[in-house]
Every structure is written in C-alpha cells, then in structure tokens.
Amino acid sequence: MSKGERIFQVFNYFIITLIALSMLLPILHVLAQSLSGELAINSGKVTILPVDFTFVNYQIVLKDMSVWRAFMVSVVVTVFGTLFNLAATASLAYPLSRSEYLGRRYVLMMVLLTFIFSAPLIPNYLLIRSLGMLDTLWALIIPGAISAYNLFIMRSFFNNLPGELIDSGRIDGAGEMRILWSIVLPLSKPAMARWDSSMPYPTGIRIPVPCTILTTGPCTRFKFVCGRSSLPIHSGKWIPPLKIWPICLQKG
C-alpha cells in the first residue's frame, strides 16, 4: 500500500468515526437522561453520563399499564397487520401479473395513482370515521392493507415466474387459489422476506396518556407525535423525558 493510499484510508476512518459518533452520542445522551434525576436534567448537567443515577423513570413507565397496553397493540398490529398485508397484496398482485386477465392495466393505473398521490391527514380521518373504525385496531390495519410499493414488487416477482409452472397446475386441475397458495407463494419467499410492512399514520386512534409516563413532575400539556419522541411542556420548557419509541399514539 502506497503512502497516499494509507493517508486516504486514515482519512476515511476519521470521517466514518465522526459520522458514527454523531449518531451514537445523541442516543447516549437520551439514555443518560433517562437514568438521571429530574433536577440534573433541568439544570442541564447531563451529557453522556447519568447524573444522580436513578431508575425512577423506568419504574414509572413499567408500572403504568397503559404502556403495556400500547405495547400489546403494537405487537398485534405488527403481526396481524403484516399477515393481512401479505394476503391482500398477494391476492391482488397475482391476477395483475397474468396477461389473460382483462382490465389489469386499468387496475394498475389506479394503484399507480395512489402511489404518486396520497390523501392528506384530514381526508383519511374523515374516511375512517365514516367507516366506523375510530378507536379500533382496524384503523391501523385496514388503511395499509395493500401497499402500492409492495404490490409492484410482488407483481414483478410473479411476472418472472415460469408460466409453465402455472399451466402445469391448471392441467392437474388446480384452481387459481390453489395455484397461488401451493405454487406461486412458496416460490415468492424472497419477495416476502424483504416485506415493507410499515403502517400508515394512525388517523383513527385517540388514546389519552397520563403525564406520569414521561416525567415525574407536573406538566400542563402533552401530545404524542407518531414515529417521534414526545416532549411535554414543563414550567414553560421542553424537558427531554424518557423516550418511548415503540409507542405511536395521538392524543385527541
């Protein structure tokens, strides 16, 4: 290795280390705050090491049943939502991949429009309310039943499957559902392994959460933001509390 290559390698290691630290230090800072006392957090003494070490924040969170309820909701929505998403998307992608089905181009065009243009928050909320799904788990599962992104990937994978396999199934007397379940889906495991099962923004869930989940002191107003940590207002300041990342709630 020449001198220039060694210098270039050292420079690369230096830049990559800086990038890694820029991502790691905020996480360590949040973790240190969750293990520090309230007075130390308010005075800004906490950096990457806890000050006035305590587990009181974790005790408050773990003792509150609403946190466990929200966690179970996340598990149920993740498991059943993914299975429902897989079943619905595969059921639509299979006929769209077969050239003998008439009207598939019009259906593909409608799906493509939803991929390019998406309805904002308020129309989604009005739709869910009109369907009677407010404050139900279906509000988190049904809107994301079919993802246009996953649909196009699965349809492309189905298109690459040999047509002779499907024809052989028809010769043996198998119906379309039998062909899909016994031939197409077992061969499509690579496409399902990289499944993007991210749920849409929860527009139909309104769950009030006590302030004590996030801070030991009194707070006057709080709100959850989906996918981001919440910051309750305490004495006119933003207090960085214990971040509860897995919970995705919206206060109505």
Instruction: Indicate whether 160 belongs to any domain.
Output: no
User: What is the average pLDDT value for the chain, to the nearest integer?
Assistant: 75
Instruction: Indicate whether 38 belongs to any domain.
Output: yes
Res. 41: pLDDT tops 70 = yes
Separation of alpha carbons 95 and 128, rounded Å: 28
Give pLDDT tens digits for 177-219: 888 888 888 888 887 776 665 555 454 444 443 333 343 343 3
Instruction: Indicate whether 25 belongs to any domain.
Output: yes
| Range of the structural domain that residue 16 is part of | 1-54
Res. 224: pLDDT tops 90 = no
Highest mean pLDDT of the ranges 154-163, 220-229, 230-239, 241-250: 154-163
Instruction: Indicate whether 150 belongs to any domain.
Output: no
In the chain, the number of structural domains is 1
pLDDT, residue 195, reads 66
* DSSP calls for 180-224: IIIIIHHHTHHHHHT---PPPP--S------GGGT-SS--SB---
Inter-residue contact 119 to 113 (CB < 8 Å): no
CA atoms within 13 A on the CB side of 182: 13
β 233-234/237-238 pair status: antiparallel
Instruction: Indicate whether 173 belongs to any domain.
Output: no
Instruction: Indicate whether 28 belongs to any domain.
Output: yes
Instruction: Indicate whether 3 belongs to any domain.
Output: yes
Q: pTM of the entire structure?
A: 0.59
Return the ∠ at Cα 141 (arms to 115 and 153), rounded to 5°.
40
Interacting residues of 64 by C-beta distance below 8 A, sequence separation 6+: 210, 212, 213
Quick one: pLDDT band at residue 242, thresholds 50, 70, 90? Answer: very low
Res. 14: pLDDT tops 90 = yes
Instruction: Indicate whether 19 belongs to any domain.
Output: yes
Q: 226: which 2 tokens?
A: 């989906």
Q: What percent of the chain has pLDDT over 70?
A: 77
Q: Which residue has the higher pLDDT, 30 or 234?
A: 30
Interacting residues of 66 by C-beta distance below 8 A, sequence separation 6+: 207, 209, 210, 213
Q: Which residue has the higher pLDDT, 91 or 231?
A: 91
| Mean of pLDDT values over 142-163 | 85
